[in-house]
Amino acid sequence: MLSPSIHRPSYIEVNLENIRQNVKNIKAHLKNNEEIFAVVKANGYSHGAVEAGRVAIEAGATGLCVATLDEGLSLREADIIEPILVLGVTDVKYAALAAQQNISLTVAQTDWLKEAARENFATLKIHLKVDSGMGRIGFTNREELLQACKILQKDNHFEAEGIFTHFATADEVDDSYFQEQLHKFKKITADLPIDFKYKHVANSATTLWRDDSGFNMVRLGIAMYGLNPSGSAIELPYELKTAFSLHSEIVFIKEVEPKTKISYGATYEAQAEEWIATIPLGYADGWLRRMQGFEVLVDGKRCPIVGRVCMDQLMIKVPQKYDVGTQVTLLGKNGNDTITIESAAEYAGTINYEIICSLSERLPRIYK
Ligand code: PMH
């Protein structure tokens, strides 16, 4: 595992106050007073799961969602006592561990319950997952879902805590597939013999843009971090504040002769006398090779990344000599200019989620 390199001037800055305000703001806009479960999987979308989870709870979230049992266990180790739901599939052999730690598991098949019923634990909280069209995990057949409900009712190993589904296109302008999924979910879950405490379907996009689809809990991910789930395809209905920025410093600077080559492959050649600065951050930090040619901010000015991005370093062309130690901003505000996560995503041909989640554990997270 990469440990954070704290003796190097590259870091992610996380503004927890912005996360707090986003959660409060979104909560105030909920139409049916739904509970919020903050989605803090993948280290809280790279913001730090414990820190983001804590502040979301302080701001009114009543539970947390993670992708894996291990992510849930590290929240428990950090003394977070609120409900935690694992959204992915967990092997039956860890059912007892989940039960002992009071971590709720997602169940997507009846056989899982039959097998888990043979394990030794007191009470395990279960959320049944319905596949209404995402095509990832979940019940698609009402008969099987009814069978799962019967097991949950009969076997006091289990507490039937929730039932849910996930949308594939809630972030798109066209809502026809979204409506189809919603209809399927309502149909397959109509008149079930269990009155689940939580019925939940909404991710951020659903929470922001779709009415009457929150049921009684929403799973809030990207929006609590202040980012638009659609990139820029649909405008946000109200302001959210980005909490994430990425900074480093110039560690080396030189003036080069015309025709000087820079980095692996010698693909960049100076056109004239140029100032070239070296930044200690590279693709092992998650700043991918395809970011070559994208810009960073130095002294509020846009400077291009020249030559290939290396594993741990990259070079930029700056308009003048700057001191070693001058701040460099790869994402976020510097002077009067800002490099948005969306613009980096667009440049890299990906989505804002992937840009932040790619940034590795080698980068320390600094909290404001
Ligand atoms: N619920 C489930 C089941 C999810 O998988 C996710 C995000 C969320 C809620 C939160 O979504 P949001 O961040 O859009 O609010 N899951 C993923 C994923 O698997 N790939 O990208 C996002």
**What pLDDT does residue 2 have?**
75
Same domain, 274 and 196: no
Same domain, 184 and 38: yes
264 is catalytic: yes
- Under 8 Å between Cβ of 253 and 276: yes
Ligand 1 centroid from CA 120, angstroms:
31
**What pLDDT does residue 257 have?**
98
Which residue range(s) make up the domain with 41?
31-225
Of the residues 191, 225, 259, which one is the last residue of a structural domain? Answer: 225
CATH code at 43? Answer: 3.20.20.10
* Per-residue tokens: 341: 């996560």
Same domain, 215 and 264: no
Same domain, 133 and 255: no
Same domain, 63 and 211: yes
User: pLDDT tens digits for 171-191?
Assistant: 999 999 999 999 999 999 999
Active-site pick, 41, 129, 199, 317: 41
User: pLDDT tens digits for 337-348?
Assistant: 999 999 999 999
Pairing mode, if any, of strands 35-39 and 63-66?
parallel
Which numbered atom of ligand 1 lies nearest the CA of 166? Answer: 3
Ligand 1 centroid from CA 67, angstroms:
9
CA distance 306 to 256: 13
Dihedral sign computed on CA atoms, order 65, 66, 72, 74: negative
Amino acid 168 reads: A
Same domain, 172 and 98: yes
- With a cut of 90, say whether residue 318 has pLDDT above it: yes
CATH code at 262? Answer: 2.40.37.10
Residue nearest to atom 21 of ligand 1 (CA): 353
pTM: 0.97
44 CB under 6 A from ligand 1? no
Residue nearest to atom 12 of ligand 1 (CA): 221
Question: What SS3 class is residue 366?
Answer: strand
Same domain, 193 and 122: yes
| Residue 230 maps to a domain | no
Ligand 1 centroid from CA 139, angstroms:
18
Length of the chain: 368
Same domain, 196 and 251: no
222 CB under 6 A from ligand 1? yes
Average pLDDT over residues 60-89: 98
User: pLDDT tens digits for 198-257?
Assistant: 999 999 999 999 976 669 999 999 999 999 999 999 999 999 999 999 999 999 999 999
Same domain, 199 and 249: no
Same domain, 65 and 129: yes
User: pLDDT tens digits for 252-277?
Assistant: 999 999 999 999 999 999 999 999 99
User: pLDDT tens digits for 227-242?
Assistant: 999 999 999 999 999 9
41 is catalytic: yes
Same domain, 197 and 266: no
39 CB under 6 A from ligand 1? yes
**What pLDDT does residue 260 have?**
98
| Residue 350 maps to a domain | yes
Q: How many domains does the chain have?
A: 2
Write out the DSSP string of 196-240. -SEEEEE-HHHHHH-TT--TTEEEE-GGGGT--TTTTSS--SS--
User: pLDDT tens digits for 103-149?
Assistant: 999 999 999 999 999 998 999 999 999 999 999 999 999 999 999 99
